[in-house]
Amino acid sequence: MGIAEGLVAWPDELAKRYREQGYWNGMALGHYLWRSAELFGEKEALTDGERRLSYQQLAALSDGLALGLAERGYRSGDCMVVQLPNCWEFVVLLFACARIGVIPIMALPGHRSHEVSYFVEHSGARAIAVADEIKGFDHQGMAREIARGSNAVQDVFVLGENVRTGSVDLGKLIVSPRDVNGVRHRLDEMGPCSDSVALFLLSGGTTGLPKLIPRSHDDYGYNFRQSAEVCGFDERTVYLVSLPASHNFPLACPGLLGVLYAGGRVVMARSPEPENCLNLIGKERVTVASAVPAVAQRWLEAKIQKPHYDLSSLEIIQVGGARMAPELASRVRPVLGCTLQQVFGMAEGLINYTSLDASEEVICETQGKPMSPADEVLIVDDHDVPVPDGEMGQLLTRGPYTLRGYFNAPEHNARSFTAEGWYRTGDVVRWHSSGNLVVEGRTKDLINRAGEKVSAEEVENLLYRLPSVAQVAAIAIPDKNLGERTCAVVVMKNGASNLTLAEVRSAMEGFGVAKYKFPDQLELVESLPTTNVGKIDKALLRSKFS
Ligand code: OOB
């Protein structure tokens, strides 16, 4: 079965308008790569440790890999779960997929078999691409196990030293073709339509399992082009990727794709650790870095403790993914010596940026304005009626780069979109007098743990697998380092013996769940309080255990 059945398209009239007005320019992501190679040729595009690739090399290597994949039978519309650390091969693989229309599913390095097997099943993926290991975890072993249990998976592509028999060595497929131009033209013929799905991002998730977010070449191209424009990216930009590159933020807001479009240079960091990143900023003369608030806070602390870090090249730090306390925001310029740009975005689409030349008040206290003139924003009450200007309400949005439906999820779509196609973001916001949005809270039931979104329902479902658990509520508790941490409030079954946090966490590990979803705190109670409509009163629990 192809993936077309699971997609929700923009209405024809609107699609036509987005094309006519140039938001959608008809270019597939692979064309962006060659466009940049023509414009910036020998200029350095990508830095990963000692490895440095020019635009021309990046394009040639991506084509080499695309050809290798095509020769193994991969075609437009096939899905591949991609789970790699931040490295140059990640970028090459992404473009190789784009060249032949293979659709990567952008898994995070932290995901484990619970998540990866679900992505495989849900998309019918024909391949999984992983590193041999990351931080001691055997990704290759995990991927092979999942592949064994699937009828669809044909190959496990492995990057690293230790490629076992039966896996395909991804590194060996990354070679420049001898006849670069010939291959380029052959691949052009195999290129996907610009309105087809370029990649699947993962939803922050408010349901039991994460949803797949289809992003088309047209809409994603616009996402990073417009972002690069708004953020002033150009050939001088040197951008540090420190968050996992599969996240929309470092990928396309403007992210590495926006940098490569603008002719700048992408510097890959393996992790957001302050020591590593602050050294890289100095060494590579980084001009723009992006971070979640929890990471930005650690960078600030590190710079205060060790003032010798040379951050003189840094012009902008973009911070988003979770609420940034105004107090932290106000320390950015004095400590790091650069401009803060708040980014309020979502993998589903809508991105808001504070202007680089906005007042200190706007930069510190708002989350920016929608980046596109074609973004539509409504702030509504519980009955979907718009609230008076300046008042808080739920944010609904539509636009040329905001999805119309999750992949293969009709029931969930009926709840997440209005009949007129507005996406219900689940965020509670208001307009600031400056015309920027302020994020005040949310209606969706998740824990925003250092920018990673943890679905309360998913954690609860997992905990119900424990024999001693009668009832459970997962709630977000304010945390000074993470922003929020996950607390599981549990009612034990009659006669069950004690349960500890360590036991809960080790059970989660046994289920093969990503570690960032493990509860950080456990509270045992006699019963869970309910509201007058009979729902668990999470607000009350939150105030009790904060
Ligand atoms: C980004 O994307 P997701 O999909 O991981 O999470 C989206 C959600 C938003 O709906 C909102 O609840 C929260 O994360 N969020 C923020 C925020 N940025 C995102 N809440 C408060 N302040 C902010 N600045 O997180 C994402 C995607 C692209 C760019 C930046 C972030």
Mean of all residue pLDDT scores within the chain: 97
Check pLDDT > 90 for residue 524. yes
What residue type is 158 in one-letter code? V
Do residue 247 and residue 312 come from a single domain?
A: yes
Domain encompassing residue 339: 222-442
Distance 321 CA to ligand 1 centre (A): 4
What count of other Cβ atoms lies within 10 Å of the Cβ of residue 498? Answer: 8
Give the ligand 1 atom nearest the CA of 319: 24
Do residue 105 and residue 161 come from a single domain?
A: yes
Do residue 456 and residue 355 come from a single domain?
A: no
Distance CA 444, CA 432 (A): 22
| Residue list, ligand 1 pocket, CB within 6 Å | 204, 248-249, 253, 320-323, 342-347, 351, 367, 425, 427, 439, 442, 453
The domain that holds 478 is classified in CATH as 3.30.300.30
pLDDT band at residue 205, thresholds of 50, 70 and 90? confident
Residue 214 lies inside a defined structural domain of this protein: no
Pairing of strands 521-525, 127-131: unpaired
Distance 519 CA to ligand 1 centre (A): 21
Which amino acid residue places its CA nearest to atom 5 of ligand 1? 204
Do residue 313 and residue 353 come from a single domain?
A: yes
Structure confidence by residue, pLDDT tens digits, 207-220: 778 899 999 999 99
Residue 188 lies inside a defined structural domain of this protein: yes
Do residue 343 and residue 420 come from a single domain?
A: yes
Structure confidence by residue, pLDDT tens digits, 352-381: 999 999 999 999 999 999 999 999 999 999
Check pLDDT > 80 for residue 511. yes
Query: What are phi and psi for residue 219, nearest 5 degrees?
Result: -75, -35
For the chain, the residue count is 546
Q: What share of the chain is helix, strand, coil (3-state, %, to 5)?
A: 35, 25, 40
Distance 88 CA to ligand 1 centre (A): 26
Retrieve residue 345's tokens: 């975005």
Distance CA 260, CA 55 (A): 8
Do residue 418 and residue 468 come from a single domain?
A: no
Retrieve residue 83's tokens: 């789970």
Domain termination residue (choose one: 408, 426, 442) = 442
Residue 217 lies inside a defined structural domain of this protein: no
Distance 429 CA to ligand 1 centre (A): 12
Pairing of strands 339-346, 316-320: parallel
Do residue 371 and residue 246 come from a single domain?
A: yes
pLDDT, position 1 = 55
Structure confidence by residue, pLDDT tens digits, 220-262: 999 999 999 999 999 999 999 999 999 999 999 999 999 999 9
Find the helix or strand (DSSP H, E) in which 288 lies: strand 288-291
Mean pLDDT within 437-445: 97
Residue 13 lies inside a defined structural domain of this protein: no
Distance 134 CA to ligand 1 centre (A): 26
Give the ligand 1 atom nearest the CA of 368: 24
**What is the best residue among 249, 317, 344, 363 to mutate for testing ligand 1's pocket, by most ligand atoms within 8 Å of CB?**
344
Mean pLDDT within 50-70: 98
Which amino acid residue places its CA nearest to atom 12 of ligand 1? 427
pTM for this structure? 0.98
What are 131's strand-pairing partners? 159
Distance 439 CA to ligand 1 centre (A): 10
Do residue 411 and residue 513 come from a single domain?
A: no
Give the ligand 1 atom nearest the CA of 451: 25
Give the ligand 1 atom nearest the CA of 202: 4
Check pLDDT > 60 for residue 489. yes
Distance 189 CA to ligand 1 centre (A): 37
What are 54's strand-pairing partners? 44
pLDDT band at residue 3, thresholds of 50, 70 and 90? confident
Do residue 241 and residue 280 come from a single domain?
A: yes
Distance 320 CA to ligand 1 centre (A): 6
Residue 11 lies inside a defined structural domain of this protein: no
pLDDT, position 263 = 98
Give, as one character, the DSSP assignment of residue 4.
Answer: G
For the chain, percent of residues with pLDDT exceeding 70? 100
Which amino acid residue places its CA nearest to atom 8 of ligand 1? 346
The domain that holds 175 is classified in CATH as 3.40.50.980
Do residue 171 and residue 259 come from a single domain?
A: no
Domain termination residue (choose one: 399, 422, 442) = 442
Distance 378 CA to ligand 1 centre (A): 17
pLDDT band at residue 496, thresholds of 50, 70 and 90? confident
Give the ligand 1 atom nearest the CA of 453: 5
Give the ligand 1 atom nearest the CA of 442: 12
Residue 396 lies inside a defined structural domain of this protein: yes
Do residue 329 and residue 393 come from a single domain?
A: yes
Q: Which of 174, 170, 120 is nearest to 145 (CA)?
A: 120
Distance CA 151, CA 303 (A): 51
Domain termination residue (choose one: 382, 410, 442) = 442
Q: Which residue, chain included where needed, has tokens 């592509």?
A: 157
Q: Which residue, chain included where needed, has tokens 């289920």?
A: 511
Q: Which of 356, 371, 282, 292 is nearest to 328 (CA)?
A: 292
**What is the best residue among 346, 445, 516 to mutate for testing ligand 1's pocket, by most ligand atoms within 8 Å of CB?**
346
Give the ligand 1 atom nearest the CA of 343: 24
For residues 281 and 240, the answer to whether their CB atoms sit within 8 Å is: yes
Distance 314 CA to ligand 1 centre (A): 23
Which amino acid residue places its CA nearest to atom 14 of ligand 1? 321
Q: Which of 247, 308, 240 is nearest to 273 (CA)?
A: 240
Give the ligand 1 atom nearest the CA of 320: 24
Q: Which of 482, 543, 544 is nearest to 517 (CA)?
A: 482
Residue 2 lies inside a defined structural domain of this protein: no
Mean pLDDT within 116-125: 97
The domain that holds 359 is classified in CATH as 3.40.50.12780
Distance 315 CA to ligand 1 centre (A): 22
For residues 214 and 7, the answer to whether their CB atoms sit within 8 Å is: yes
Structure confidence by residue, pLDDT tens digits, 70-100: 999 999 999 999 999 999 999 999 999 999 9
Mean pLDDT within 176-192: 96
Distance 346 CA to ligand 1 centre (A): 5
How many domains are there within the chain?
3
The mean-pLDDT minimum among 198-202, 363-367, 492-496 falls in 492-496
Which amino acid residue places its CA nearest to atom 9 of ligand 1? 346
Pairing of strands 127-131, 155-159: parallel
Distance 524 CA to ligand 1 centre (A): 31
Residue 402 lies inside a defined structural domain of this protein: yes
